Structure 1
Amino acid sequence: MKTVFVTVGTTSFDELIESITSSEGAQALKARGYERLVLQVGRGSLPAADSCPHIRMEAFQFKGSITEDIKQADLVISHAGAGSCLETLGAGKPLLVVINDKLMNNHQLELARQLHADSHVLYCTCSTLTATLMAMDLSVLQPFLPGQPKKFANFLDKALGVR
């Protein structure tokens, strides 16, 4: 069963949850072949059980880890929190980042733009989510290669004269 996992992290982003569970959002997912929607709503409100009639929906606020939800997903839709983005990219899952454009001094946009410029994610806002879902081409996304901390450690050792 093709699954979409939506996460807002530890924050509240009700606008994202409302957008993805709207009739238009659910229909866009269904048109792309997704049959199951799993929502992690953080401090936000749990949607009504019947709010998404076109697709099987499950929702929760928090759990110890969302690693399994990410692994089981065919697509992850996330707020632009660095932790959520890096965990998803590290799992090798396609990622659609939704910017909360209501935030002031929006660092989320900077992160999403950089990850998009490197072809690792697609991004949009809540107002463009449905159109993005309908038009997205996940085949353009490039794998996110893990960091190489050993190289940095070696550099520091050399710079500090330890080696």
Structure 2
Amino acid sequence: MGEADDSGRSKKIVFVTVGTTCFDALVKVVDSQLGKEELFRKGYTDLLIQMGRGTYTPSKTSGEDGSLAVDYFAFSPSVADYMRSASLIISHAGSGSIFEALRLGKPLIVVVNEDLMDNHQSELAEELAERKHLLCARPQTLHEVIRSMDLESLIPYPPADAATAAKLINRFLGFPDD
């Protein structure tokens, strides 16, 4: 169902986002030969990396030789369009990025940045992985997570239910339940 590239093959895009942070360890691991090979083996055709404040520059390739096409950029006013066109999202553990991907119903691998102090983001990622809404990795385990991933086993994240919150607020304010 994805768009086709110039050769007529269907595009399957992996979008990697680090948000506004510097997370060179994630960018390096997806840009590594092994990382690209694992994604290509899983049927992906394109890798688009949003590298944030990082200093590592990924290798740009066209994919014309039958390999994974790779492109990158540092920042964008909005990554929503990139997320929408992706077949798989690999993200840092920022809650905004996580919930945007889940809201879009996209398969998601969250990579925890172990260099952050008081990393509450890892707790969120691990809890959502335990509930089978996403896959969780560390930079050093990402290759294995990609190799063994079964995206069919993921459970869609339920959309927010405002009615429940409204009932609680009404009850608190003393209004009758309808």
TM-score tier after normalising by the smaller chain length: over 0.9
Say which structure, 1 or 2, has more relative contact order (CA 8 Å, 6+ apart).
1
Equivalences for 1:7-156 in 2 at 5 Å?
A: 7-45=17-55, 46-49=57-60, 54-156=67-169
In the TM superposition, what whole-angstrom CA distance separates every residue of 1:116-136 from its partner, at most 9, and x where no partner exists? 111100011000111111111
**Aligned residues: CA RMSD:** 1.6
When Rg is computed on C-alpha atoms for both structures, the one with the higher figure is: 2
Separation (CA, whole Å) in 1 of partners of 2:121 and 2:80: 21
Return the offset for 1:162. Answer: 4.6
3-state SS of paired residue (2:170): helix
In the TM superposition, what whole-angstrom CA distance separates every residue of 1:25-45 from its partner, at most 9, and x where no partner exists? 011111111110011111113
Q: Which consecutive segments of 4 or more residues in structure 1 shift more than 3 A? A: none
Q: Give aligned pairs, total.
A: 162
Separation (CA, whole Å) in 1 of partners of 2:18 and 2:89: 11
Letter paired with 1:105: D
Separation (CA, whole Å) in 2 of partners of 1:83 and 1:29: 24
Separation (CA, whole Å) in 2 of partners of 1:48 and 1:136: 25
3-state SS of paired residue (1:93): coil
Tell me the TM-score normalised to structure 2 length: 0.86
Tell me the TM-score normalised to structure 1 length: 0.93
Letter paired with 1:147: A
Q: Which runs of 5+ in 1 are unaligned?
A: none
Q: Which runs of 5+ in 2 are unaligned?
A: 1-10
Letter paired with 1:22: S
